[in-house]
Structures are given as structure tokens and as C-alpha cells.
Amino acid sequence: MEKIRRNERMSAMMKILSDAPGKMFTLSYFCEMFGAAKSTISEDIDALRQAAKTFDLGAVETITGAAGGVAYRPRMSRQAARTYIEGLCRKLSGTERLLPGDFLYNSDILSTPEIVNQMGRILATEYAQTRPDFVLTMETKGIPVAFATANALGIPLVIARHSSKVYEGSAVNINYVSGSGNIETMSLSRRAVKENQEALIVDDFLRGGGTARGMVELMREFHVGVVGMAFVMSTIEPMKKRISGEKSLMTLEVLAGENPEAVVRPAAWLNG
């Protein structure tokens, strides 16, 4: 193989690292791939760390020692996060997306990869320090953003279902009170999680908090802790939710009247 130039090698490393967030690559892995000395790869990594920092593109982290290596972690500055969410709020506010019953049409936003990946990076930045073992969501609309968050954290996604499916094996079921006041069932395969793990709950929408409360109780059945709860959007009303300590990216207020209007705002913590 002809000699690889440093800029090509570094670009390839950046791509490989950022494709697998949180995954630790040994220096030897890159030495072998590029036919380069450890000292060379080590210098490359220092330069990558600098480039990522300069352009707010996340963190290139190195761990020294026998079990050491290098890993990429998506990070988004608070300012970039706020600017991004402000743009989304403008898109969602107004009269056009309001549906009967004060629901807001947002299915398109919640499954457009470019948008969802940014939301995932923001939530991963916020919850990385809590070190969850997996992200938990309840089907269906929150799955893409929960997946993007899990991807950015480098951990698996676990999806609770409305009822246990034969193809998921034996399951734990719980009942919970849904937003509409009905008693519903939430189900998770016994194989999906292990005792003493820690979960980060991610979902698309928080109104009363019934479903979120159900997820917390489901985790209790599995002896799994909950390190945090994050939502794409929460309603201003009711102010009192069945859960506490959660973080949403946006809040939704509906102004009543002849032409009801949605007012979507960035959540207060994004100003901090």
C-alpha cells in the first residue's frame, strides 16, 4: 500500500470514531489499519481532539493504560443546543400544526433523521455524566429520538410495548394510567434488561406523566434504576406531572380562542 498522508489518515480516523460513539478503539487498531507507529497515531489523536474542540464537534477522549484507547463522544455546547431548539420552536409554533383536542402535529419532526440526531446529541450531552446502561422508551413516536440518544451515548435502546408479543418471549406486564385516563398495559421482555442496570427514559411527549410514571414502575419490577427522564416536548398544563426531575427540550402552550394557536418555547434549562 502506498504511504498514507496524515490528513487522509486523520480524516478516516475521525469518521471511524464518530461512527461508533462511545466505543473504545485501541491505538493498535489504528496502527494496524494505517501501518503507522503508535507515536504517530497518538499525535494524530491529539490533533483530532483539538479539531473537535475548535469546531464544537464533540469530544475525542483518550484513556491511557493497558485497557486504554480512544473514543468519540458527541457533545453539543449549550449555546448551539439552544439555537437549534429555538429554530425548531419557530417551526412548530403557530396555527397550522394544531389538531382538534390541542394536539400538535409533529410526526414529521420526530422522524426526520437530521432533526432527530441533533435532539439525540443534545440529550446525550445532558445525560452522559449519569452513565445509563440503556435508553428506555415506550412505543411508538418516541422511538427515533430515543434511538438517536442511545446512539450518541453508545448504549442500547430498549422498547416497552403496549402488550406482550409472542416473539419477545416471557415478559413483565404492568398497568398504568394513560394521559386519557384509561388503564393501559405496558410490557417488556424479561430478556431485555438485567438487574441493577441504570436506565435513561426518553420519550416524545409529556402531558400528565402517566406513561412516564409507568416506565419508572416497570423498571422497578426489573430492579433497574432510572438516572433521568427526557422528553422532546412537555405541555404547560397540567403544571403538576405524575413525575418530577424530568427535562424537556420544548414546552407547549395552546392559546385558546377562535383560532387556537400553539406557542412552543425552548425549555428553561437550555438557558442555563
What is the binding site for its own copies (CB under 8 A)? 4-16, 18-20, 23, 33, 44, 47-48, 50-52, 54-55, 57-58, 99-101, 103-105, 107-108, 111-114, 116-117, 139-141, 143-144, 147-148, 150-151, 154-159, 161, 166-169, 189, 191-192
Whether omega before 238 lies within 30 degrees of 0, making that bond cis, reads yes
Shortest Å distance, C-beta 51 to its own copies: 4
DSSP three-state, residue 152:
helix
Q: Are strands 171-177 and 98-99 parallel, antiparallel or unpaired?
A: unpaired
Cβ proximity to its own copies: between 30 and 176 the closer is 30
225: left (phi over 0), alpha (psi -120 to 50) or beta: beta
Closest listed residue to residue 240, CA positions, set 204, 261, 213: 213
Provide the minimum distance between the beta carbon of 44 and its own copies in the complex, in angstroms, as a whole number. 8
Q: At its nearest, how many Å lie between its own copies and the CB of residue 3?
A: 12
**Considering the complex, what minimum distance in angstroms separates the CB of residue 238 from its own copies?**
17
Nearer to its own copies, 114 or 245 (CB): 114
HEC string of 213-225?
HHHHHHHHHCCCE
217 to 25, 200, 207, 212, 225: CA distances (angstroms): 37, 13, 18, 9, 10
Tell me the closest approach of the beta carbon of residue 139 to its own copies, in angstroms: 5
Lookup result for grid cell 390541542? 102
Which residues are CB-neighbours of 81 under 8 A, at least 6 positions away? 122, 125, 270
- Shortest Å, Cβ 36 to its own copies: 13
Residue 203 CA: distances (Å) to CA of 34, 60, 132, 164: 41, 28, 15, 20
Q: How far is the CB of 105 from its own copies (least distance, A)?
A: 5
Cβ proximity to its own copies: between 20 and 255 the closer is 20
The closest of 231, 206, 250 to 85, measured between CA atoms, is: 250
Q: How far is the CB of 270 from its own copies (least distance, A)?
A: 21
Of residues 158 and 226, the one with the C-beta less far from its own copies = 158
**DSSP assignment, residue 4?**
P
* Cβ closest to its own copies, residue 112 vs residue 268: 112
57 versus 174: smaller Cβ distance to its own copies: 57
Residue whose CB is less far from its own copies, 192 or 216: 192
Within a 10 A sphere around the Cβ of 38, how many other Cβ atoms?
Answer: 11
Spatial separation of the C-alpha atoms in residues 146 and 159, rounded to whole Å: 9
- Residue with Cβ nearer its own copies (150 or 270): 150
